[in-house]
Amino acid sequence: MLKVPEHQVAGHIARDGKLGPLVDDEGRFYKPLQGDARGENEAKFYESFSLNKEVPDHIHRYFPVYHGTQLVEASNGSGKLPHMVLEDVVSGYLNPSVMDVKIGSRTWYPDVSEVYFKKCIKKDRETTTVSLGFRVSGFKIFDHQESSFWRPDKRVVLGYKVDGARLALRKFVSSNSLADSNSIPNCAFASEVYGGSNGILAQLLELKAWFETQTIFHFNSCSILMVYENDSFLMKGGATEQAPRAQVKLVDFAHVLDGNGVIDHNFLGGLCSFIKFVKDILQIVEERDDIDTSRLENGH
């Protein structure tokens, strides 16, 4: 039985009779093949990627597993349509916080139509894409004080400037009232989610090393999805704390092109900028924790 995914934060949503992706209860994500060659392009990418022997094993984990295409009853009632069958990257999580970040200082690329180019560059300039090399596309966070999920309005997210993006990345790892725009995010989970040997920063750095030399693909308009488990932070009456299993995944490959011997400098520049933002948050938290520790030690 297929249903609308609970935790989708960006892209087309299969709601109110619209065409969008669906999930089953076996950890699979069904993405309808989009019209005008994009769907075909994405399927071609997945096929090429899964067969490509030049992609190192440790990089495969950053991409959803591909299970081919299948005819599936579409969410908008238009009958059976071809869908890509992918790994549902949030299926192993009970209460995941999720954020979609579109990477690159431009979402257009050489040889696109003038219309598409104009549409992309307008959006790139209006958002943080040009200024930061990435933009937050959407997110939902579990508010530990309200015990519910919170997601900001899409228009608000698209209107973020540099400070808004920074704030969103802090909220993403905070436990205090997120809906309240006046409260300062406490970044309570920054070290466990962003930091550590298995945290998001470590994974981003691994991806960065690959992007510095891979010339196989140009990931135009791709997103990085960040996920982590909130249940690990909820006190469960003496139960041992589990790791938040923070995970980075690359998603949305409708505009991927051949690298043709050139690195994906557009994605890489944006990735490095994103890494710096995450590092800065970790550093502030570390410094704050150091001050707190020394206060404790000095009897404050």
Partner 1 sequence: MHLKAPEHQVAGHIAKDGKPGPLVDDKGRFFKPLQGDSRGEIEVMFYESFSSNTQVPDNIRRYFPEYHGTQAVDGSDGAAMIVLENLLSKYSKPSVMDVKMGSRTWYPEASEEYIQKCLRKDKGTTTVSSGFRISGFEVYDHKELSFWKPNRKLLNGIKVDGVRLALRKFVSSNTLSNTSSKPDSAFVSSVYGGSKGILTQLLELKTWFENQTFYHFNSCSILMVYENDSILKGDVDDVQAQVKLVDFAHVHDGNGVIDHNFLGGLCSLINFIRDIVQNPDESSAEN
Q: Binding of partner 1 at residue 266 (CB under 8 A)? A: yes
From candidates 21, 32, 96, 133, binder to partner 1 by CB under 8 A? 133
- The CA angle 207-97-94, to the nearest 5 degrees, is 110
Q: Binding of partner 1 at residue 262 (CB under 8 A)? A: yes
CA 103 to chain centre: 9
Closest CA to 278 of 129, 165, 182: 165
The least CB distance from residue 106 to partner 1, in Å, is 7
Identity at 226, one-letter amino acid code: M
Q: Binding of partner 1 at residue 215 (CB under 8 A)? A: yes
- Which CB atom, from 28 or from 135, has the smaller least distance to partner 1? 135
The least CB distance from residue 214 to partner 1, in Å, is 10
The least CB distance from residue 184 to partner 1, in Å, is 18
- Which CB atom, from 227 or from 282, has the smaller least distance to partner 1? 282
10 Å CB burial of residue 34 (0-12, 13-18, 19+) is middle
| The one segment of 5-13, 33-41, 145-153, 268-276 that binds partner 1 by CB under 8 A | 268-276
- Which CB atom, from 11 or from 269, has the smaller least distance to partner 1? 269
Q: What is the 3-state secondary structure (H, E, C) of 97-136?
A: EEEEEEECCCCCCCCCCHHHHHHHHHHHHHCCHHHHCEEE
- Residue 135 bridge partners (DSSP): 102
The least CB distance from residue 212 to partner 1, in Å, is 6
The least CB distance from residue 154 to partner 1, in Å, is 23
Q: Binding of partner 1 at residue 261 (CB under 8 A)? A: yes
- Residue 130 bridge partners (DSSP): none
From candidates 125, 154, 236, 295, binder to partner 1 by CB under 8 A? 125
From candidates 113, 182, 260, 298, binder to partner 1 by CB under 8 A? 260
Q: Binding of partner 1 at residue 182 (CB under 8 A)? A: no
Q: Binding of partner 1 at residue 162 (CB under 8 A)? A: yes
Q: Binding of partner 1 at residue 273 (CB under 8 A)? A: yes
10 Å CB burial of residue 37 (0-12, 13-18, 19+) is exposed
Size of the site for partner 1 (CB under 8 A): 26
| The one segment of 68-76, 94-102, 123-131, 167-175 that binds partner 1 by CB under 8 A | 123-131
| The one segment of 126-134, 151-159, 230-238, 291-299 that binds partner 1 by CB under 8 A | 126-134
Q: Binding of partner 1 at residue 110 (CB under 8 A)? A: yes
Residues 47-106 that bind partner 1 (CB under 8 A): 105-106
Q: Binding of partner 1 at residue 269 (CB under 8 A)? A: yes
Please tell me the distance from the alpha carbon of residue 196 to that of residue 123, in angstroms, as a whole number: 35
Please tell me the distance from the alpha carbon of residue 2 to that of residue 74, in angstroms, as a whole number: 10
Residues in contact with partner 1 by CB under 8 A are 105-106, 110, 125, 130-133, 162, 212-213, 215, 260-263, 265-266, 268-270, 272-273, 275-276, 280
